[in-house]
Amino acid sequence: MADDGVLDEGTETAALREVLAAEHAAVWGYGAVGAALPPDAREPVVAGDVAHRDVRDRLVALLDARGAEPVPREAGYTLPFPVLSPVDAAALAVVLEEGVSAAWVRLLDQATEPSVRELAVEELGAAEVRAVGWRAAAGRTPVTSAFPGLPR
């Protein structure tokens, strides 16, 4: 909910921009994930990278269509921890997917258009499915989350 409780196109657009920022970060981060994995283990990295690039491009088009300036990608990002092993790489991918999940849930909270919520809930589910695989690869338990993207 907006801080003043009112939802409108402005709150929705602001939340869309936050999702785009998270997707930029995910695209960048998947490069670091792939670099820490052997070539024969990169299939889920490619799939995740492609998915995030696709949705990034959809968000840019959506923001363009409503006359809102898309958020540019940052010049660089700071890794939350050193990524030196396959387990580190999987843990980073979990961070990336959980980051975009939080942004999608924020959008669900702020959106006014059903079509935007439809996009958000679909992509939130896709991010959680990827996160399940990465949590397993990182040795996390449980591998699932009851409420992906919601504040804990």
Question: Do the Cβ atoms of 18 and 106 come closer than 8 Å?
Answer: yes
139 near another protein, rule: CB under 8 A: no
Measured CA to CA, the distance from residue 6 to residue 143 in angstroms comes to 36
Contact in structure between 69 and 99 (CB atoms under 8 Å): no
Asked if 94 is part of the footprint of another protein (rule: CB under 8 A), the reply reads no
Q: Indicate whether 34 belongs to the interface with another protein (CB under 8 A).
A: no
Of 24, 25, 46, 51, the closest CA to residue 35 belongs to 46
127 binds another protein (CB under 8 A): yes
Closest separation in Å from C-beta 85 to another protein:
17
Nearest alpha-carbon partner for 120 in 130, 110, 134: 110
Binding site for another protein (CB under 8 A): 1, 3-7, 18, 22, 25, 28-29, 74-80, 92, 95-96, 98-99, 101-106, 108-109, 111-112, 114, 117-118, 120-122, 124-129, 131-133, 141-151
